[in-house]
Structure 1
Amino acid sequence: MRQFYIFIKCELGKTYDVASALVDTLEETRQVHSVSGAFDLLAQFAVDSEADIGRFVNLKVQTISGVKDTQTIICFNAFTRDRGLGD
């Protein structure tokens, strides 16, 4: 699985609608957080290793009603308590 995050800027008054759509309609959605700053939401996704992340963002996320802008962050490694730097 490939993990990635997307910062999402929403149209005014649409943040909760976009968050609900991400959680309710996309099985790849892991978590959605409302955040402060330049973006309204930070969403975590997981897709198959062979998946085209750019196409996923373009066709599944950016087409949700109320999404104004996105910024994608692709993850390389996950460091957790059970899998640190030495593993």
Structure 2
Amino acid sequence: MQTFFVEIKCKLGKTYDVASTLADREIASEIYSTAGNYDILAKFHVDDGADIGRFVADNVQTIKDIADTHTIITFKAF
């Protein structure tokens, strides 16, 4: 299992809409509202060998009102 995080910047006033759509898709294990350069931090798990870039492009970046994303790939949990 691969774990990674995606920081999501939303169009102005659309954070709750994006978070709701992300939750409805049931693909993120956790979704948080954040302050700073991005509005949402979402945690994902995919099978080993899955293409994370394709997953993000097909399942996250297709959500209406997302302006930008930043993917953080993790290697090991301590």
- Given the two structures, how large is their TM-score scaled by the length of structure 1? 0.86
CA RMSD in angstroms comes to: 0.8
Gapped regions of structure 1 (runs ≥ 5):
80-87
How much does 1:28 deviate? 2.8
Matched, 1:50 2:41: no
Q: Secondary structure at the match of 2:72?
A: strand
Deviations 1:5-44 (A, max 9, x none): 000000011100111111111x331011000000000000
Letter aligned with residue 70 of structure 1:
T
Mapping for residues 7-86 of structure 1, pairs under 5 Å: 7-25=7-25, 27-79=26-78
Structure 1 CA distance for aligned equivalents of residues 32 and 41 of structure 2: 5
Looking at CA atoms only, which structure, 1 or 2, has the larger radius of gyration?
A: 1
Instruction: Report the count of equivalent residues.
Output: 78
State the percentage of identical aligned residues.
56
- More relative contact order, 1 or 2 (CA 8 Å, 6+ apart): 2
Structure 2 CA distance for aligned equivalents of residues 5 and 64 of structure 1: 16
Deviations 1:20-71 (A, max 9, x none): 111111x331011000000000000001112100001111101100110000
- Deviating runs (4+, > 2 A) in structure 1? none
Gapped regions of structure 2 (runs ≥ 5):
none
Letter aligned with residue 73 of structure 1:
I
User: Is the CA contact 1:28–1:47 (under 8 Å) kept in the aligned structure 2?
Assistant: no
